[in-house]
Each structure stands twice: as C-alpha cells, then as structure tokens.
Amino acid sequence: MTDHKRIDDPELFNDPAFEKFDAPAGSPVRPQQLTLDDTMQFHCHKGVSCFNECCMNIDLTLTPYDILRLARRLQITTTQFLHLFAQTFDLDHHGMPGLKMRPVEGGTACQFVTAEGCSVYQDRPTACRYYAMGTMGMRRKGESRLEDVYFMVQEPHCKGHEAAHALTVREYRREQGVEHYDEMNRDWFDIIVKKRSAGPTVGAPTERSFQLFYLASYDPDGFREFTRSPGFQEMFDLDPAERDALDRDDEALLRFAMRLLKQVLFGESTIPLKEGAAQRRYEQRKAAIEQRWKEQAEKYRLKKPGDEDGE
Ligand code: SF4
Ligand code: SF4
C-alpha cells in the first residue's frame, strides 16, 4: 500500500497557495477532486482476488493518533511502539521529523498483515482506512482555513475499483471510521502546513523545538512523563482538572500536546505560564550558556570578550 495521506509528497503538498488539484504525471492518483457528497465506486472485501496485496509493499506515514491507537491495541507504550514499528524520515526537507511504519525485517510487507488480513484492523492507521481514497489538507490562496481535498488512487493491482458498489465520499469516510482520526489529527496537520508555509528560514525552529515536536507528536507516553517533570511544572500553570486529564486521558493529552507545540513553534499562547516562569527560564538558560562558555574557554584557553584577567 502506498501512502495516500501524502503529507510527505512535495509534488502534491508543497504549494500552500494552490489554485487547483493537480496530480503528478504517471501517478495512480486520478486527477479529479472529490467533495464529501461526490459518489465513488469501490469495495474491498476478503473475497477479492487481490486480498492483502496492498499490505505487501507499504509506504505508510503515521499520524500521532495512529501511533496512540496502535500502541494501546498492542498493549505497549508509545515509546516501545516507535522502537519496534516505526522509522523516521524528513517530513518537510528541513528537519521536521516524520514517521513511517517499519516493514518486516528485510522485506516490504507490513508487520501486521496475516493470511487472515490486518491483525490490527480496528486500530489500523489513517492511510489504511482511506485507501483507495486519498486526502490532503490544502490552503487556498488568500485563505487561512485548511480545506480537505479528496481523490481516488487507482493502482493496477487493486480490484476494489471493479466492484459495483457506489457510495459517497462522506459514506466511505464513515464506513472506514476516519472521521474521528481526522478530528484527532487536525491540529497536527495544521502545524505541519503552517510550518511548511513559513519555509525553511522564516521562524526556523531550533533543534530543541524539533525534539519537542517528535515527543509531543509521536510519543504520548514519553510526553506524559515530560508533563510530570519538575521543569514543566515550574513553567506551566495548569488547573487541577486539566492536570488530572493529562494523567488519565490519552486524547486530552494529545490535544494538549498540539496546543503546546503551537505555543512553542508559533507563539500561540493558550497555556498559562506560572508567574516569573519566563524570567526564571531566561536566567537558567543564561547560566547554562555562561557555563558552556567557561568550559569552552578553559578547553581552548580563549579569552572571553571583556575579561581582564583571562590567559
Ligand atoms: S496496518 Fe493493517 S491495513 Fe495497514 S498496511 Fe498493515 S496490515 Fe495492511
Ligand atoms: S481491493 Fe484494493 S484495498 Fe482491497 S485488498 Fe485488494 S488491493 Fe487492497
């Protein structure tokens, strides 16, 4: 199954000011944009001659909610899931980390495919639910709102297109259970599009921001530990109900993680800081930079500008 939530495909997704949907030449993407009420023809079922073929050569981008659902399904932590089932790639060609499903060792098949079909079917990723339909969030010129664009993907091996089964895009999305997935991932897609729109230099995030992006996006269990750390608690002023939700509710945790990312990456201030937290943070950073300078100076016997008594 190729990845049709093509957030990593620069041909399809790199133009924040798109005017019309345009599939690259030679692509299996049909050059026809669909709305929720348009009708499509497709049916995938166990009796189809190509059963499982789409899971034998995977290229699946994982979303934050995909990882959460799969880890809970497998009863492992999201940290363990990342270690066993994911591999990183460059999401925007400027260092923003993305994740793909890692295929079987030395092969291309999904680790979850069995002779009976998908072993994690109820919790399968967004891209698997959409296939053979694809979708992208795109921004029209002059508009701030993201618009969902749908299209069909017709690969030669997939016989599902031959079935006489017509339904609307809206019905297909409901049938495949993608609505809740899209709702849970919406803020994350917004962040990626906003970052891409900014380009490589405008407001370029630091290495630490990318580390936070990785933790907040892909490792909710690790992020939960981070929200319990003294550094986090000294910085953010959460009311007890929200604190409790972060401890107990995975979806609340994921929503909060996206708010924190927007605050750190774009300065959208929705999480209150404790009084004096910013100043304390500044002092800590200044002290750390001073310490590093001292260490470097000692190492290379450099003289700090303004020092009178260095070597
Ligand atoms: S998660 Fe399931 S549906 Fe998706 S590629 Fe793997 S086996 Fe196929
Ligand atoms: S019909 Fe298409 S989606 Fe269904 S199993 Fe065959 S290749 Fe996969």
Q: Is residue 1 lining ligand 1, measured as CB closer than 6 Å?
A: yes
Q: Is residue 153 lining ligand 1, measured as CB closer than 6 Å?
A: no
At 216-227, the pLDDT tens digits run: 999 999 999 999
- Cα gap 183→200, rounded to integer Å: 28
The residue count of the chain comes to 311
Distance spanning both ends of the chain, measured CA to CA: 64
Strand pairing report for 146-152 and 133-139: antiparallel
Closest residue by Cα to atom 5, ligand 1, is: 55
Counting ligands in written order, the one closest to the CA of 129 is 1
- Cα gap 131→2, rounded to integer Å: 9
Q: Does 115 or 302 have the greater pLDDT score?
A: 115
- Cα gap 305→34, rounded to integer Å: 63
pTM of the full predicted structure? 0.82
Counting ligands in written order, the one closest to the CA of 110 is 1
3-class SS of residue 118: strand
Torsion angle of C-alpha atoms 233, 235, 241, 243, degrees rounded to 10:
-40
Q: Is residue 128 lining ligand 1, measured as CB closer than 6 Å?
A: yes
CA of 94 relative to ligand 2 center, distance in Å: 34
Preceding amide of 132 cis, omega within 30: yes
Q: Is residue 62 lining ligand 1, measured as CB closer than 6 Å?
A: no
Q: Is residue 120 lining ligand 1, measured as CB closer than 6 Å?
A: yes
Counting ligands in written order, the one closest to the CA of 161 is 2
Is the pLDDT reported for residue 236 higher than 70?
A: yes
At 61-87, the pLDDT tens digits run: 999 999 999 999 999 999 999 999 999
- Cα gap 279→121, rounded to integer Å: 49
Token digits for 258?
A: 């996206």
Nearest-Å Rg of the Cα atoms of the chain is 23
CA of 158 relative to ligand 2 center, distance in Å: 5
Q: Are 37 and 170 in contact (CB under 8 A)?
A: yes
For residue 198, what are the β-bridge partners?
Answer: none
Closest residue by Cα to atom 4, ligand 1, is: 128
At 15-53, the pLDDT tens digits run: 333 334 455 566 788 878 898 999 999 999 999 999 999
